[in-house]
């Protein structure tokens, strides 16, 4: 296949169960940068089976997706950059669309958002805020300036944004344990509460906790109609309500301590 000067950046740590299929879906890329956070499982062993993979250690080890994304920019040689997570896969259809857009680019478009087909607990999600889910992932490197934000990172780029039509697949939360682990074990709960604390959030009271939980329930079940995804929709929707409770309970604790 004709070289298209295309680089993929994957941020990963201990992803031996997911990284193989992820890499297989982008093995057609000219270059794959694997930004590793110190994996102790077989993640790197699997990655080294692909000749175009270059393993790079993350310079920042605390959770900081903005810093990791910015490091990825410096490591790549490609004219176009695509960011992919270990639990995501490009389908043959999305691959075809990406190649078409970067081989024959529209002059004023320098970044593309791609839709994601989210699979949660084995079910393709259609409601609850999971669909449509557009992620800005494809960039002309010369126009990508930087990423900002440690958790909910945002790109800054020159030019206009285009939209791809064919979705990639996101295998999020394969089981209930991974849902809890992402919130608690990976430090997301701490980061969310710390950000609110540093922003000078008003004192947390019982009615404020109740308010954010009711608001989250309304958002998931009334506005986004999570119940239409059946049992999985109810599990996910209620988990998000509980997640908001945990964030504000931790924020209350931080305010009391400091």
Domain edges within the chain: 6-107+138-153, 176-257
pLDDT at residue 187 tops 80? no
| pLDDT number for residue 238 | 96
Contact yes or no for 221/237 (Cβ under 8 A): yes
How confident is the model over 15-68, as pLDDT tens digits?
Answer: 999 999 999 999 999 999 999 999 999 999 999 999 999 999 999 888 899 999
CATH topology of domain 6-107+138-153: Spore Coat Polysaccharide Biosynthesis Protein SpsA; Chain A (3.90.550)
How many Å from the N-terminal Cα to the C-terminal Cα in the chain? Answer: 59
Query: Among residues 217, 79, 194, which one has the least CA distance to residue 138?
Result: 79
pLDDT at residue 1 tops 80? no
Quote the CA–CA distance of 204 and 226 in Å, as a whole number.
28
Query: Model-level pTM?
Result: 0.90
Please tell me whether the peptide bond between 132 and the residue prior to it is cis, using omega within 30 degrees of 0.
yes
- Strand segments, DSSP code E, in 180-246 are none
Name the pLDDT band for 206 (thresholds 50, 70, 90): very high
| pLDDT number for residue 188 | 82
- Cα distances (Å, whole numbers) of residue 168 to 26, 49, 78: 11, 23, 21
| Burial of 10: CB neighbours in 10 Å, binned 0-12, 13-18, 19+ | buried
Name the pLDDT band for 3 (thresholds 50, 70, 90): low
| Beta partners for residue 82, in sequence order | 8, 138
Mean pLDDT for the chain overall = 93
């Amino acid at each position: 296949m004709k070289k298209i000067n295309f680089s993929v950046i994957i941020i990963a740590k201990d992803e031996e169960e997911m990284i193989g299929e992820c890499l297989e879906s982008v093995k057609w890329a000219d270059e794959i940068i694997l930004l590793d956070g110190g994996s102790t499982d077989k993640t790197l062993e699997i990655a080294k089976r692909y000749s175009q993979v270059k393993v790079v250690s993350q310079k920042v080890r605390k959770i900081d997706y903005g810093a990791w994304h910015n490091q990825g920019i410096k490591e790549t040689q490609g004219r176009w950059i695509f960011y992919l997570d270990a639990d995501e896969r490009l389908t043959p259809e999305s691959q075809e669309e990406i190649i078409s857009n970067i081989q024959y680019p529209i002059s004023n478009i320098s970044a593309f958002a791609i839709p994601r087909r989210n699979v949660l607990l084995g079910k393709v999600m259609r409601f609850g805020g999971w669909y449509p889910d557009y992620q800005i992932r494809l960039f002309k490197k010369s126009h990508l300036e930087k990423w900002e934000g440690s958790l909910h990172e945002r790109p800054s780029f020159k030019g206009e944004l285009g939209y791809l039509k064919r979705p990639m697949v996101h295998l999020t939360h394969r089981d209930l344990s991974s849902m809890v682990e992402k919130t608690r074990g990976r430090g997301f709960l701490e980061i969310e509460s710390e950000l609110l604390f540093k922003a000078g959030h008003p004192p947390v009271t019982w009615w404020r906790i109740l308010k954010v939980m009711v608001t989250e329930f309304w958002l998931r079940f009334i506005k986004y109609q999570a119940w239409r995804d059946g049992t999985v929709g109810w599990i996910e929707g209620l988990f998000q309500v509980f997640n908001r409770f945990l964030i504000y309970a931790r924020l209350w604790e931080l305010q009391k301590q400091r």
